[in-house]
Amino acid sequence: MTLRAAEGGIARGRSGVLGAALGIDDRIFVAPAERRMVRAIEAGLEQVEEGLAAELRFGDQLADTTARYLFEAGGKRVRPALTLLTAQLGDGVNPAVIRSAQAVELTHLASLYHDDVMDEADLRRGVQTAHRAWGNSVAILTGDLLFARASAIISSLGGRALELQARTFERLVLGQLHETVGPTAGEDPVDHYLSVLADKTGSLITLAGLVGLIFSEAPEPYYPAISEFGERIGVAFQLIDDVIDITDAAQTTGKAPGTDLRADVPTLPMLLLRRAAATDADARALVERIEATAAGEDDAAFLSAVAALRAHEVSAATIAEARRWAAEAVAALAPLPGGPVKRALAEFAERVVEREA
């Protein structure tokens, strides 16, 4: 199943809002209690969406416009959906769960503004990136505003939530810092990259799952399982993004093929290709071809190089690595009770490595 973002709000497919967010065909939930769970999550997602629209108002015309820009461009709302799903392991959706889901999504949204500036990206969710529309300073300050609003929401939920949010924000920044400066002398570039993904992507998915547990008063023995699941599925999610970056499905992804390659942003296919280039002349020639065309103005030559990377065995190796991380994420769920939540999380992990956008 392809996960697609639709302009103007949550993407909706034939499987409903939950299916669009997590890629799960909710028709697999047939028992009356399972159907009630799905309806509760979908109703909760609607409340999250309404709350986000309200939170993205700052009483300033420019700030209101820029802060709503990527929100209105769409999004799958993966993280809020996970919060509402894990809350089913406790007492279910309540106002605190909704508020925490909004804070997590705002944190994610803020990070996109900053990431696009650092990556010099041109497109996000099918629209021009904020820094291309208003400049780097406005995009960075908009991200700061969203981080501030997310923190304000979290602070209203108590000290434990605030500490979790702060530690997650710290990991997001450290992940971006480590990605920017690269591996230290003697550090394996692939290991370094995977640790960056755990910080930049895994930490926020983990936060989404944990706040669902905390504010639904789910049993604390479930916390380590959800934490490990979030870390590992976050890495798998980003590895598939690395493969998506070199696809030619710009209409589906909302990004031009090879966006990360042009910005010299590390991806696993390119790291594996560089590793192979040490002993393989063909790999070395492809590295040189990608580097030369990424810096040039001949789009056709660059896209041809991207296609060659897509056809190279390193792309298949990246997908295999993503599947390994996803399998470990599912294995981490062993302590959870059997039932629709565990089944949904496992299904989500499978869909993560099958997605095309």
Query: Which residue would you say has higher pLDDT here, 125 or 204?
Result: 204
**What pLDDT is stored for residue 252 in this prediction?**
54
CA dist list (Å): 302 to 131, 257, 283, 297: 24, 9, 16, 8
- pLDDT tens digits for range 124-155: 888 899 999 999 999 999 999 999 999 999 99
The two three-digit tokens of residue 5, written as one number: 């973002």
* Domains observed in the chain: 16-352 (1.10.600.10)
pLDDT at 96: 98
Query: Per residue in 19-37, pLDDT tens?
Result: 788 888 877 888 998 999 9
- Rounded mean pLDDT of 111-127? 87
For residue 253, what pLDDT is reported? 52
The predicted pLDDT at position 314 comes to 98
Question: What are 265's two structure tokens?
Answer: 């942003």
pLDDT, tens digit (0-9, with 9 covering 90-100), for 291-350: 999 988 899 999 999 999 999 999 999 999 999 999 999 999 999 999 999 999 999 999
What integer pLDDT is reported at residue 248 of this predicted model?
72
Q: What is the pLDDT of residue 264?
A: 86
- Would you state the pLDDT for residue 256? 75
